[in-house]
Structure 1
Amino acid sequence: MRHFLHVFAILCLLTGANPSLASDVIYAPGSRIGLVPLIGLNPAKTFPGFETADQRVKVVVAELPVAAFRDVETVAKSNAADPRGLKPQGLETASGPGYFIVETAKNGEDNVRRYSMVISGGTFSGYVAAQVPENVGKIYSDEAVQKMFATVALRKEVPLEEQLGLLPFKLSELSSFKLIRTLTPGAVILLSDAETENNIDGSAFIIISPIGSVPERPDDRSRFARDVAATIPNLREGRITMSEPIRINGSPGFETRIDGTNTRTNTPVTVVQWLVFGSGKTAMRLIGSTPRNEWSDVFPRFRAVRDGILPR
């Protein structure tokens, strides 16, 4: 139930909106989740979802682990009662059955209606959340929001050009990686040799993401590189084999290599972490991981991706 009860955005007063639907499914930029929004809602600029021009009314979409849908489906089909009397209700959508709940809550001093729905995307769960102030409930009624939720559609892939176009940097070299997946639209991207998302940990992959609050003093960067390397997920028995400053495309950087074991596949892996320091306290972080017996073949590809990152 925790997947349903988490609402990502705070919605405020909506005035003058028409509760009718637009004509076509619109996918949130960089997301595999789309819907036919109610009139007045447009793709948001700062988060995956939709909002009004005054940025006060929002509908948020998110991709959750595949287990989220199964968990909610189990609750919906059971006789278990939630302490608050909430139970997911079935809803047929454009992409198959979903489950939604509606609840009344407080947002500060305002009474609000909250709507949440989850739907299976096969390899992920699609999640949609909305919140409507009580004083506009006649405009954005339960029926209107439910009709909007029924239009939710899932696409198998986000077009590559769309994913790359949202990034704050240019990625000019993909180095023959097969699977390209945005982890955080407009910020974090993964490239992998895996055929499907379920096999990523058993294949070579590289994750590229911005990172903030990095030390400005060169003398502090060695310790920082080791500290953040220790936070790499799904890695145990990690042993740093190299950690030293380098230049990357003319910018100061730091390379750290680690031998360890992937906790999900229980296989030996070699990991490289690059930090590319920018202006102020910002940096780009790249984490490449590959089965250890493939390191000599994959490392040049990791490096080609790294060297192909260009400013916009």
Structure 2
Amino acid sequence: MRHLLHVLIALCILSSANSALADDVVYAPGSRIGLVPLIGLTPAKTFPGFETADQRVKVIVAELPVTAFRDVENVAKSNVADPRGQKPQGLETASGQGYFIVEAAKNGDDNVRRYSMVISGGTFSGYVAAQVPENVGKIYSDEAVRKMFATVALRKDVPVEEQLGLLPFKLSELSSFKLIRTLAPGAVILLSDAEAENDIDSKAFMIISPIGSVPERPDDRDRFARDIAATIPNLREGRITMSESMRINGSPGFETRIDGTNTRTNTPVTVVQWLVFGSGKTAMRLIGSTPRDGWSEAFSRFRAVRDGIRPR
């Protein structure tokens, strides 16, 4: 009986030690980064990550360029001392080697502990950061947060339905694009013919996002459309070949076409930008880009995606 009692006590202790973590990996909505959250942390509604009910403990996840992991790894492996006294420490995770830092900091008048980690996702770098007020450090201790970070897992893709479900608009037509990726979960989505992210610029692709601060007066929209077209990334020697107002799905809109050169592939491209104006100072911005020799086919697909957008 005494032996059985000792076994039961040991099992209770083990159960208590593990209960700070939930059972399964939970991926932040729309993200390829997930972890086993500590008890009390649930998916956040306003940012990619997790938070407590009182929003005082936060865990944020983000996808960074692939070079971010290499840069941190080089610092961790170098013999150069960090003037701040901080140096990334290796941490083995569910998805391989990560580099982890713990810092004491201030959030307003509150003392907090800040944790961050970078891990390689192959074509991207996974970033996880947490902030914990000092007065809850007994629950969310350094060791507990470290164990949580060790559970970080990366998935190759986010299910298309999950990505589309987070958008503030309905996207009913994908026009056979192969790669679907949210650039900002719940806000910006990329559709591409590329099979890998490092090949996007050489294929037809679209970027769709809501924008604010647009002019309400119709007379100002031509200038606005031209000005914002000049901000399209990875485009040089751009020349506007057409810019005119039109009705798009029953709403006032503007179409602008540009011939230019893609800065990454150094090849001629044709780009179309549609602005669909909504209520107030908001609009939907759609950018479609394709190698110039594939314009005719790509344009009809771009237009099909545009015409399939509906409000939620």
Q: How high is the TM-score relative to the length of structure 2?
A: 0.93
**Structure 1 residue 151 corresponds to structure 2 residue 155:** no
The 1-side partners of 2:81 and 2:268 are apart by: 45
Following TM superposition, by how much is the alpha carbon of 1:138 offset from its aligned partner in structure 2, in angstroms?
Answer: 2.0
Moved segments of 4+, more than 2 Å? none
Alpha carbons 2:66, 2:121 under 8 Å: kept: yes
Matched, 1:211 2:211: yes
Give matches, 1:153-232, under 5 Å.
Answer: 153-232=153-232
The answer for the alignment partner of 2:8 in structure 1 is none
Which amino acid in structure 2 is aligned with residue 168 of structure 1? P
More helix by share: 2
Contact 2:56 2:133 in 1 (8 A): no
Q: Is the 8 A contact 1:19 1:139 kept in 2?
A: no
How high is the sequence identity, in percent, across the aligned residues? 89
Residue of structure 1 in register with 2:49 after alignment:
49
What secondary structure does 1:224 align onto?
Answer: helix
Partner of 2:12: none
Is the counterpart of residue 84 in structure 1 residue 104 in structure 2? no
Q: Which structure 2 segments of 5+ residues have no match?
A: 1-17
Question: How far apart, in 2, do the equivalents of 1:92 and 1:144 lie?
Answer: 15
Q: Secondary structure at the match of 1:290?
A: strand
CA contact (8 A) 1:213 1:282 kept: yes
| Distance in 2 (alpha carbons) for counterparts of 1:306 and 1:56 | 40
Q: 1:254-279, CA deviations, whole angstroms, 9 ceiling, x for partnerless residues? A: 00000001111111100000000001
Unpaired stretches in structure 1, ≥5 consecutive residues? 1-17
Return the offset for 1:251: 0.5
Which 10-residue stretch deviates more, 276-285 or 133-142?
133-142
Q: Secondary structure at the match of 1:176?
A: coil
* Cα offsets for 1:21-64 (capped at 9, x unmatched): 01110000000000000000000111100011122221100000
Rg comparison, structure with higher value: 2
Is the contact between residue 234 and residue 263 of structure 2 (CA under 8 Å) also seen in structure 1? yes
Q: Is the contact made by 1:101 and 1:116 (CA closer than 8 Å) also made in structure 2?
A: yes
Contact 2:20 2:39 in 1 (8 A): yes
Aligned residue in 2 for 1:233: 233
Aligned residues of 1:20 and 1:39 also touching (Cα < 8 A): yes
* Residue identity opposite 2:222 in structure 1: S
1:272 aligns to what? 272
1:7 matched to which residue of 2?
A: none
In structure 2, the partner of 1:307 is 307
Post-superposition offset of 1:186:
0.7
Distance 1:81 1:268 in 2: 47
Whichever residue aligns with residue 211 of structure 2, its letter is I
2:134 aligned residue: 134
Corresponding residue for residue 13 of structure 2: none
- Provide, for residues 63-114 of structure 1, a one-character-per-residue CA deviation record: whole Å limited to 9, x for no partner: 0011000100111111111110111000000011100101111222222111
2:286 is the alignment partner of 1:291? no
Q: In angstroms, what is the RMSD of aligned CA positions?
A: 1.0
Q: Look up the SS of the partner of 1:86 in the other structure.
A: coil
Preserved contact between residue 19 and residue 144 of structure 1 (Cα < 8 Å):
no
SS of alignment partner, residue 147 of structure 1: helix
The answer as to 2:59 corresponding to 1:66 is no
- Aligned partner of 2:285: which letter? R
Query: What SS does the corresponding residue of 1:143 show, helix, strand or coil?
Result: helix
CA distance in 2, matches of 1:169, 1:70: 36
| 1:19 positional shift | 7.6
1:258 corresponds in structure 2 to 258
- Kept in 1, the 8 Å contact 2:50–2:58? The answer is yes
Quote the residue 1:34 is aligned against. 34
Instruction: Note the C-alpha offset of 1:309.
Output: 0.4
Q: Distance in 1 between matches of 2:242 and 2:139?
A: 61
Distance 2:154 2:130 in 1: 18
Once residues 156 and 295 of structure 1 are traced to their aligned partners in structure 2, the CA distance between those partners, rounded to angstroms, is 30
The residue identity in structure 2 corresponding to 1:305 is V
TM-score, normalised relative to structure 1 = 0.93
CA distance in 2, matches of 1:169, 1:134: 40
Q: Which of 278-287 and 105-114 deviates more? A: 105-114
* Corresponding residue pairs, total: 295
CA distance in 1, matches of 2:255, 2:128: 39
Partner amino acid, structure 2, of 1:250? G
Partner Cα distance (1:111, 1:19) in 2? 26
